[in-house]
Structure 1
Amino acid sequence: MPEQTASAPHPAHHVPHPAPRRLALRTALRRAAHQVDTATPPSRDRAIDALRALAILGVVLGHWLVTALVAQDGGLHTASPLQHMPWLAPVSWLFQTLAVFFLVGGHVAARGLASARDRGDSYGAWLRARLSRLLRPVAALLALWSVVAVILLATGTPLATIHTLLKLALSPLWFLLVFAALTAATPLVARLNPLWPLAVVLHVDVLRFGLHLGPSWLAWLNLPAGWLVPYALGAAWARGEVQTRRSAWALLLGGTAATTLLITCAGYPASMVGVPGAPISNLDPPTLAAVTFGLAQCGLALLLRDRLRRAMARPLAWAATAVVNLSAMTVFLWHQTALMATTATGLLAGRLPGLHTAPDSVSWVASRLLWLPVLTLVLVLCWAAFRHHEQGPRRSRNRTSRVVRRHVPPARSAHHA
Structure 2
Amino acid sequence: MSRDRAVDALRAYAIGGVVLGHWLVTGLVSTGDGGLHQASPLTALPDLAPMTWVLQTLGLFFFTAGFGSARSLARHRGGAGGWLAGRLRRLLLPVVALLGVGAAVLLAATVVGTSDDTLAVALRLAVSPLWFLLPLVVLVAVTGPLRAAVRRWGVARCVAPAVAVVAAADVAVRLLPAGTALPPVTVLAAWSVPYLLGVAHADGRLGGRRVGGALAAGAAVALAVLLALGYPVSAVGVPGAGVSNLNPPSLLVVALAVAQVGLGLLALPALRRLLTRPLPGRAVTEVNRYAARVYLWHQPVLVAVTALTARGGLALPGLHTVPDDPGWVLARCCWLPLFAVVLVTVVRVGRPRRGVRVGAARRRQPGGGGLSDRSAECVPAVPQVYDHRRSGRPDLQEVIAVRDSDPPSRGRADGQTR
Match of 2:191 among 198, 207, 227: 227
Structure 2 gaps of 5+ residues are: 151-157, 367-383, 388-394, 406-418
CA distance in 2, matches of 1:174, 1:215: 18
Q: Partner amino acid for 2:72?
A: G
Deviation at 1:73, TM superposition (A): 3.6
Report what 1:286 is aligned to.
249
For 2:311, the equivalent position in structure 1 comes to 348
Kindly provide the CA deviation profile for residues 174-216 of structure 1, in whole angstroms up to 9, marking residues without a partner as x.
113322221111112212422221121112212332x548993
Going from structure 1 to structure 2, the CA distance change for 1:205 and 1:196 (only over 3 Å counts) comes to same
**What secondary structure sits across from 2:311 in the alignment?**
helix
* Aligned-partner Cα distance in 2 for 1:263–1:386: 47
- Counterpart in the other structure of 2:8: 49
* Count of residues in Structure 1 that have an aligned counterpart in Structure 2: 362
Provide the rounded CA distance (Å) in 2 between the counterparts of 1:255 and 1:204.
19
Which one of 8, 16, 22 corresponds to residue 63 of structure 1? 22
1:197 aligns with 2:156: no
Q: Distance in 2 between matches of 1:207 and 1:372?
A: 39
Contact in 2 for aligned 1:140/1:386 (Cα 8 Å) = no
Contact between 2:355 and 2:365, CA under 8 Å: does it hold in 1?
no
Q: Normalization by structure 2: what TM-score?
A: 0.81
In structure 2, the residue matched to 1:333 is 296
Cα distance in structure 2, aligned partners of 1:77 and 1:83: 15
Equivalent residue, structure 1, for 2:276:
313
Residues 235 and 245 in structure 2, CA contact (< 8 A), matched pair in contact too: yes
1-structure distance, mates of 2:351, 2:202:
29
Relative to structure 1, the CA distance from residue 152 to residue 348 in structure 2 (aligned partners, 3 Å threshold; closer, same or farther) is closer
Answer yes or no: is the 8 Å Cα contact 1:322–1:403 preserved in 2: no
Q: Distance in 1 between matches of 2:343 and 2:79?
A: 37
Name the aligned partner's letter for residue 6 of structure 2.
A
Maintained 8 Å contact 1:208/1:219 = no
User: What pairs with 1:154-165 in structure 2 (closer than 5 Å)?
Assistant: 154-165=111-122
Q: 1: CA distance between counterparts of 2:297 and 2:350?
A: 9
What is the percent sequence identity of the aligned residues?
46
Aligned to 2:134: 177
Q: 2:65 aligns with which of 102, 105, 109?
A: 105
2:124 matched to which residue of 1? 167
Match of 1:404 in 2: 386
Q: 1:281-322 CA deviation, whole Å, 9 max, x = no partner?
A: 111221111111111111001110000000111122112211
Identify unmatched segments of 5+ residues in structure 1: 1-40
**Match status 1:84 vs 2:44:** yes
1:181 is aligned with what amino acid? V
Cα contact 2:182–2:248 (8 A) shared by 1? no
Name the aligned partner's letter for residue 135 of structure 2.
V
- 1:221 deviates by 2.6
Structure number, greater radius of gyration: 1
Shifted more, 70-79 versus 224-233: the winner is 70-79
Counterpart residue number, 1:31: none
Q: 1:130 aligns with which of 87, 99, 114?
A: 87
What is the rounded CA distance, in whole Å, between the counterparts of 2:26 and 2:208 in structure 1? 38
Q: Tell me, what secondary structure is at the counterpart of 1:217?
A: coil
Q: RMSD of the TM alignment (CA)?
A: 2.4
From the superposition, tell whether residues 215 and 272 of structure 1 become closer, same or farther in structure 2 (CA, over 3 Å).
Answer: closer
User: In the alignment, residue 342 of structure 2 is paired with which amino acid?
Assistant: V
1:20 maps to none
Q: What corresponds to 1:206 in structure 2?
A: 171
